[in-house]
Structure formats: C-alpha cells, structure tokens
Structure 1
Amino acid sequence: MSQPATPIPVEIDNAPPRRSKVTGGLAALACAACCALPLFIAAGVLTGAGAAILEKMLLAVAAGLVVLALGMWWLHRRRSAQHAAGAGCGCGGSGCGC
C-alpha cells in the first residue's frame, strides 16, 4: 500500500511589512501632533481657531493612515497565504485544487 502524500509545512509570514510599519508610525506621529496642539496654543504658535481646524485635519489623517496600514498588512498576509498554499502542493498560483 502506498502512503498518502503528506503536505509540506509552509510558514505564512504574519509580520507586518515595512510599508505598513512606516504608515502606522506616521499615524502615531499625527496623533502625537494632535495631542501637542494645546502646547502650541500656550506657546503662541497657533490660535484657537487654527488649532481647531488642525485638530480635525490631523484626526482625519491619522485615521486614514491607520486604515491604510491595516489594509496593507491584510493584503500582505493574504498574498503570503496564497503563495504558501500554492507552494505547499506544487501547483503554483493557478489553483489546481490539491
């Protein structure tokens, strides 16, 4: 009797890619700048109206960057899993139904 072929264990890269880390860092920087606005008002660099406009803009930019970073991470994990699934059975990226 022949033994059934055992699948080759393939590692899936779950770590965030560099572009996702950079985007997340920029989101954190925008959030920190938003938290520093009261200091800028106290130092006389910004007026209250300017800080209010800048606050809304920085919050929107930070939220957009977080969504972008998470989307890039998800796409990286998806591509890594597809590549690992194709490499595990030797069928390639066409999807042979192994």
Structure 2
Amino acid sequence: MDPPSAGGLGGADPQLQRFIEVETQKQRFQQLVHQMTELCWEKCMDKPGPKLDSRAETCFVNCVERFIDTSQFILNRLEQTQKSKSAFSESLSD
C-alpha cells in the first residue's frame, strides 16, 4: 500500500480520510478554546490579584457562556454539514 501523496488524499482509504477530518476538527476546536481563553483573559483581567473582583468574575462568566453558545453553534453546524455530505454521498451511490 502506497502512502498518500503530498498533493492530497483523493485515493486514500475513506476511514483514513474520516480520521483526518475528525482530528482536524479537534485541532480547530482546541485552537478556538485557546483563542477564547486569551480573549476572555484580555477582556476581563485588568490587574491580576489574589482573587477576582466581582466585575472580573461576572465578565468571565459572561465570556464563558458566550464561548459555550458559540461552541454549541459550531458543533451543530459541523454536524449538519457532515449529515448533508453523507446524504449527498448516499444519493450519488443510489
């Protein structure tokens, strides 16, 4: 079995392609977590101290809630995209 060419995975095993898609999605999600953590920190932390003041705590809670909302939206969208790809593939094979 030859390794996939550097130009793409056009002829690669479908399971390998799916694995790579899933791992790529995981990587993108981790990047999103990192970006949102950095964004919330920059937005909410004026001055680091021994404990959070109420304003910073509220800011972090709101920021995390927006992150969760955004993450849920993205995951739902990815799921819809995968379902539509599967439905399209199935209709082609009929």
- Which TM-score applies when normalising by structure 1? 0.53
Q: Return 5+ residue gaps in structure 2 as ranges.
A: 1-13
- Look at both structures and tell me which one has the larger radius of gyration over its CA atoms: 1
One-letter amino acid of the structure 2 residue matched with residue 61 of structure 1? R
How well do the aligned residues superpose, as a CA RMSD in angstroms? 3.4
Q: What does the per-residue CA deviation read over 1:50-90, in whole Å, with 9 as the maximum and x for residues that have no partner?
A: 2111010011011111111111100000000001100112x
Equivalent residues, number:
71
Partner Cα separation in structure 2 for residue 26 and residue 68 of structure 1: 13
Greater RCO between the two (CA within 8 Å, min separation 6)? Answer: 1
Query: Residues 34 and 58 of structure 1 are in contact (CA less than 8 Å); yes or no, is this contact kept in structure 2?
Result: yes
CA distance in 2, matches of 1:28, 1:61: 14
- Per the alignment, residue 53 of structure 2 pairs with 48
- Which residue of 2 is the match for residue 30 of structure 1? 36
Q: Is contact 1:27–1:61 with CA below 8 Å preserved after alignment?
A: no
Q: Distance in 2 between matches of 1:86 and 1:58?
A: 42
Does 1:87 pair with 2:92? yes
Mapped partners of 1:74, 1:50: distance in 2 = 36
Percent identity between matched residues is 6
Partner in structure 2 of residue 67 of structure 1: 72
User: Where has structure 1 moved over 6 Å in runs of 4 or more?
Assistant: none
